[in-house]
C-alpha cells in the first residue's frame, strides 16, 4: 500500500513543480485543475491513471511518466454523469502517442456505451513525432469515435492551448467548440508553414485564435477571456442538454409564470418593415427570466441561434436578426442555422423559429459562393427535423426565405403570426414594379401610379390575414400573449412522434 500511495502521488503531482509553474505562467491551468472546475467537487473517477507508453527510440524509453500526458475519467455536473479527457501539456507538450490515444479511445467508448456527454479539454501540440504513424493512427481512432458518437451523445470540445493539424479535426467533428482568448489556437498548418508556402506573415492568434474562429471562420461557438469563465459556461451548457439522444433535456422549473404577458412586445417591433430592431430583446421577453445561451453569437450575426427555456423546458430558438443585414439569409447564416437545427433535432430539443426575413442576400459573391447549395442546407435540416416545430412570423416573410424559415409547407407543426406580418413572394414595391411596369411607364404621373398600385397590391395579397385565410398560418395572435401561446403549444406537442422513411441516411446538400 505504501508503494501504491507513492506511485499515485507521483501520477497526481505530474512531471515537476517547475512544469506546473511554467503552465501557470502562461495563464493556463493544469489538466487536473481544469477537471476540478468542470466536475462537481469530489466526483471525478480516473481511468488508467497509471498508464505509461511503451515506445522506444529518440530517448522515449528514458521518459515514461504516468498518465502519458492525458487524464481520463468520469464525474458529474449538477449530479449528472459526464465523461472527460484532458491533455496535460506538462507531459510531452500534450502530444498524442499510442498509449495516450488508447486512453482517449477507451473513455470515448465508455461515454457512448453509458449514454453520457463527453467533454474534451484540449491542450496538445498534435501527434507525438517520435512515435510516427502509431500516433497518426491514434487520431484516426478518435475521429472514428467522434463520428460514431455524433447525434448519440453531446460532444463538447474546450480549446485551452495550441491545437494544430489532426488535433484540430476532432473538435471540428464535435457539437460545440469553446476557446479562450490569447492562450488557445486552432489551425491545420501553423504560421511558419504558412510563411514558407505563401510568404504571408501572421501570428498564431491572427491565424487561428479564439476571436478569429468566433467571428470569421465560425469554427468556435464560444470565446472567453479566461479558463474559469469558459469552463463555467461549459457546465451551464451541459445543464441544458440531455445525456443522450434517447432522453429529453432536463426540466428546470423557475419562478417565471407561464401566463406572463409581454406587453413590451407591442412597441418593440416597428410596424415599418424598413426599421430595424434587436431580436435579442424579443427573445429576452419571451423566454424564462430573459435567460438564454446564444450559439455562434459573433458569427453570421444576421441569424440568432440560442438555447433557452419556456416554462422550464429547453427549446432551440432560430431567429432572424433585423439589426444585421436586415435579417437576410446568406451563405454563413444558412450554415449556422442548419447545423443548429440538426443538433436540436438529434437531441430532442423543440424548435421555435422567429421570422422577420426579407429574403436571401443578392449578389455575385453569394451566387458564386453557392448560396443555392448552402441555403438548401437549412431547408434540408428543417424538412428532416421530427422534433416539435413552431414558427412565428413577426413582420416580413418574403420569397424563398419565408419557405426555408420553417414555414407550414415544409412541416412546421404550428405557425403563428403577429398582426404586423407581411407574407409574400417579395416586397410590395418590387412586386408592383414587376406586375404593373407597363401601366406605371405609360402613366402621366408614374410615381403616383406606382404608389397607388403598391397600396392595391398590399391590400390584395399582403394584408395580415391573407395567409391565415388560406390555412398557411394557424392563427394571428396578440404579441403580448406570445409566451403563453408558445408554452401551451409546446406542451401539446411534447409527445409528438414522427417517423422518417426507412433509409440508411439522406444525402444532404454539400
* Nearest-angstrom CA–CA distance, 295 and 299: 9
For residue 490, which of 417, 403, 414 has the smallest C-alpha distance? 414
Helices (H) then strands (E): counts for the chain: 21, 17
Catalytic residue among 239, 312, 400, 508: 400
- And the C-alpha cell for 245? 439522444
Q: Answer whether 241's CB lies under 8 Å from 347's CB.
A: yes
For residue 338, which of 381, 372, 298 has the smallest C-alpha distance? 381
* Nearest-angstrom CA–CA distance, 267 and 262: 10
- And the C-alpha cell for 180? 479562450
CA atoms 413, 270, 487, 417: torsion sign = negative
- And the C-alpha cell for 251? 426540466
The DSSP annotation for 75-115 comes to EEETTEEEEEEEE-TTTGGG-B-HHHHHHHHHHHHHHHHHT
- And the C-alpha cell for 426? 417579395
Please compute Rg for the chain using Cα positions: 26
Catalytic residue among 36, 165, 239, 369: 165
| Whether residue 400 lies in the annotated active site | yes
* Nearest-angstrom CA–CA distance, 208 and 204: 6
* Nearest-angstrom CA–CA distance, 466 and 400: 18
Catalytic residue among 166, 209, 375, 399: 166
Q: What are phi and psi of 312, to 5 degrees?
A: 90, -10
| Whether residue 506 lies in the annotated active site | no
* Nearest-angstrom CA–CA distance, 312 and 484: 13
| Whether residue 165 lies in the annotated active site | yes
| Whether residue 94 lies in the annotated active site | no
- And the C-alpha cell for 340? 443548429
Q: Answer whether 355's CB lies under 8 Å from 415's CB.
A: no
Coil, helix or strand for 261? Answer: coil
- Compute how many other C-beta atoms are within 10 angstroms of the C-beta atom of residue 158: 28
Q: Answer whether 7's CB lies under 8 Å from 50's CB.
A: yes
Estimate the crossing angle of helix 482-493 against helix 279-286, to 10 degrees: 60
* Nearest-angstrom CA–CA distance, 200 and 194: 6
- And the C-alpha cell for 442? 405609360
Q: Answer whether 100's CB lies under 8 Å from 60's CB.
A: no
- And the C-alpha cell for 300? 453570421
Task: Indicate the helix (H) or strand (E) that contains 397.
Answer: strand 389-398
Catalytic residue among 55, 95, 401, 417: 401
- And the C-alpha cell for 114? 453509458
Looking at the annotation, which residues are catalytic?
165-166, 400-401
Amino acid at each position: 500500500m505504501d508503494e501504491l500511495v507513492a506511485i499515485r502521488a507521483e501520477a497526481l503531482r505530474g512531471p515537476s513543480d517547475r512544469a506546473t509553474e511554467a503552465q501557470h505562467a502562461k495563464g493556463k491551468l493544469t489538466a487536473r485543475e481544469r477537471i476540478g472546475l468542470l466536475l462537481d467537487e469530489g466526483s471525478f473517477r480516473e481511468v488508467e491513471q497509471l498508464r505509461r507508453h511503451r515506445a522506444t527510440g529518440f530517448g522515449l524509453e528514458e521518459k515514461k511518466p504516468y498518465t502519458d500526458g492525458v487524464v481520463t475519467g468520469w464525474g458529474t455536473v449538477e449530479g449528472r454523469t459526464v465523461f472527460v479527457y484532458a491533455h496535460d501539456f506538462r507531459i510531452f507538450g500534450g502530444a498524442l502517442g499510442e498509449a495516450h490515444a488508447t486512453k482517449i479511445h477507451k473513455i470515448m467508448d465508455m461515454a457512448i456505451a453509458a449514454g453520457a456527454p463527453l467533454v474534451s479539454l484540449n491542450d496538445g501540440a498534435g501527434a507525438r513525432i517520435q512515435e510516427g504513424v502509431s500516433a497518426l493512427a491514434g487520431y484516426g481512432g478518435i475521429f472514428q469515435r467522434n463520428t460514431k458518437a455524433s447525434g448519440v451523445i453531446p460532444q463538447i470540445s474546450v480549446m485551452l492551448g495550441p491545437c494544430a493539424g489532426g488535433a484540430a479535426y476532432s473538435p471540428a467533428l464535435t457539437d460545440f467548440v469553446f476557446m479562450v482568448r490569447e492562450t488557445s489556437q486552432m489551425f491545420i498548418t501553423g504560421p511558419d508553414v504558412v510563411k514558407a508556402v505563401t510568404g504571408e506573415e501572421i501570428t498564431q492568434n491572427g491565424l487561428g485564435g479564439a476571436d478569429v474562429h468566433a467571428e470569421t471562420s465560425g469554427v468556435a461557438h464560444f470565446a472567453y477571456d479566461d479558463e474559469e469563465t469558459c469552463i463555467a459556461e461549459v457546465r451551464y451548457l451541459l445543464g441544458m442538454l440531455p445525456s443522450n439522444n434517447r432522453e429529453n433535456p432536463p426540466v428546470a422549473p423557475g419562478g417565471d409564470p407561464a401566463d406572463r404577458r409581454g406587453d413590451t412586445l407591442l412597441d418593440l417591433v416597428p410596424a415599418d418593415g424598413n426599421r430595424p430592431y434587436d431580436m435579442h430583446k424579443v427573445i429576452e421577453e419571451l423566454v424564462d427570466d430573459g435567460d438564454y445561451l446564444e450559439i455562434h453569437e459573433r458569427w453570421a450575426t444576421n441569424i440568432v441561434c440560442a438555447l433557452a427555456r419556456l416554462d422550464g423546458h429547453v427549446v432551440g430558438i432560430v431567429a432572424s436578426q433585423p439589426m444585421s443585414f436586415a435579417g437576410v439569409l446568406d451563405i454563413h447564416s444558412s450554415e449556422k442555422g442548419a447545423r443548429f437545427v440538426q443538433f436540436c433535432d438529434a437531441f430532442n430539443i423543440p424548435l421555435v423559429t422567429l421570422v422577420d426575413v426579407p429574403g436571401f442576400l443578392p449578389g455575385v459573391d453569394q451566387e458564386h459562393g453557392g448560396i443555392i447549395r448552402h441555403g438548401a442546407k437549412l431547408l434540408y435540416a428543417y424538412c428532416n427535423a421530427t422534433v416539435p416545430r413552431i414558427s412565428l412570423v413577426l413582420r416580413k416573410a418574403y420569397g424563398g426565405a419565408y419557405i426555408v424559415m420553417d414555414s407550414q409547407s415544409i412541416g412546421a407543426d404550428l405557425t403563428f403570426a403577429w398582426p404586423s406580418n407581411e407574407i409574400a413572394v417579395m416586397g410590395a414595391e418590387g412586386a408592383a414594379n414587376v406586375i404593373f411596369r407597363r401601366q406605371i411607364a405609360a402613366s402621366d404621373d408614374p410615381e403616383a401610379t406606382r404608389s397607388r398600385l403598391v397600396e392595391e397590391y398590399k391590400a390584395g395579397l399582403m394584408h395580415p390575414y391573407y395567409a391565415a385565410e388560406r390555412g398557411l398560418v394557424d392563427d394571428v395572435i396578440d404579441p403580448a400573449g406570445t409566451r403563453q401561446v408558445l408554452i401551451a403549444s409546446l406542451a401539446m406537442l411534447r409527445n409528438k412522434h414522427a417517423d422518417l422513411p426507412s433509409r440508411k441516411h439522406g444525402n444532404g446538400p454539400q
